[in-house]
């Protein structure tokens, strides 16, 4: 099969989707380092991290299968997770006498990874093309 312009777009979108999924799972792993630490005052964040990892895999699979709604769900999910953990970040930062370096670094790095994944999801033309059904000019 001769590669066409459209097949290269799909490959680019799939590679970017793999990068996004790695960033999200890496961010969730770093968040887990924060939520199991005694510095975390919100124990419900543990379930949120596990749920985000599972939901991200499911939504990434639907995006890989070219469901048009999945990109928007993924963007919403990552924005929501970012907002919740940003609140945890500012809550932890508001009490500097409680801050320990390692869990704070986990939280900060996890937020940065999720922000990078969100930026790729929003700005990437390859993922936008991947989210269109085949045969619709994508």
Q: What is the pLDDT of residues 47-64, one digit of tens each?
A: 999 999 999 999 999 998
Q: Could you give the CA distance from residue 91 to residue 85 in angstroms, rounded to a whole number?
A: 10
Q: How distant, in Å, are the alpha carbons of 2, 35, 42, 104 from that of 39? A: 56, 8, 9, 9
> What pLDDT does residue 85 have?
93
Q: Which string of b and e fits 56-87 if b means at least 16 CB within 10 Å? A: beebbebbbebeeebbeebbebbeebbebbee
Q: Which parts of the chain sit beneath pLDDT 70?
A: 1-10, 98, 135-138
> What pLDDT does residue 135 have?
66
For residue 133, count CB atoms less than 10 angstroms from its CB and return exposed for 0-12, middle for 13-18, buried for 19 or more: exposed
């Amino acid at each position: 099969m001769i590669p066409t312009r459209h097949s290269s777009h799909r490959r680019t979108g799939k590679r970017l989707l793999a990068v996004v999924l790695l960033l999200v799972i890496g961010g969730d792993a770093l968040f887990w380092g924060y939520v199991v630490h005694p510095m975390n005052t919100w124990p419900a964040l543990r379930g949120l991290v596990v749920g985000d990892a599972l939901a991200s895999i499911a939504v990434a699979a639907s995006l890989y299968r070219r469901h048009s709604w999945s990109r928007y769900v993924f963007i919403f999910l990552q924005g929501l997770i970012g907002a919740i953990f940003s609140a945890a970040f500012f809550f932890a930062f508001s009490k500097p006498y409680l801050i320990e370096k390692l869990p704070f670094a986990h939280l900060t790095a996890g937020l940065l990874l999720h922000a990078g994944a969100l930026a790729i999801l929003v700005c990437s033309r390859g993922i936008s093309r991947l989210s269109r059904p085949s045969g619709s000019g994508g």
